[in-house]
Amino acid sequence: MKLSKEQVQHIARLARIQLTEKEVEKYSKELSAVLDYIDQLNTVDTNGVSVTRQATGLTNITRRDEVAASDLRDELLKAAPSSDGETVNVKAIL
């Protein structure tokens, strides 16, 4: 599938990148080659091939999120750069 100059420029606008004329030509060829490869993959007969959703067989190990008592609260508040004894004060980042 050959991409036109306009299609490559449209893709560049969507990606919010500016391309020179030389880059438009280069990426037109490269993106067209990628799309040709995908078309080639679409011709492969996959009948009888099971869907692979997960290759390793591993599962997530999770635990319940439970509140636990801790005696580190006061120590952590003391270590903070600025605190009112209940919360840690930080500079606004805007």
Report the CATH number at residue 34. Answer: 1.10.20.60
Instruction: Identify whether the C-beta of residue 57 lies closer than 8 Å to the C-beta of residue 63.
Output: no
Give how many domains the chain has, as a whole number.
1
What confidence score (pLDDT) does residue 10 get?
96
Once rounded to an integer, what is the mean pLDDT over residues 7-24? 96
The residue segments making up the domain with residue 22 are 5-42
Once rounded to an integer, what is the mean pLDDT over residues 73-94? 79
What is residue 63's three-state secondary structure?
Answer: coil
Please write the tens of the pLDDT for every residue from 34-79: 999 999 988 999 899 888 888 888 888 888 889 888 888 888 777 7
Q: Output the average pLDDT for the chain.
A: 88
What confidence score (pLDDT) does residue 73 get?
80
What is residue 88's three-state secondary structure?
Answer: strand
11 within domain boundaries:
yes
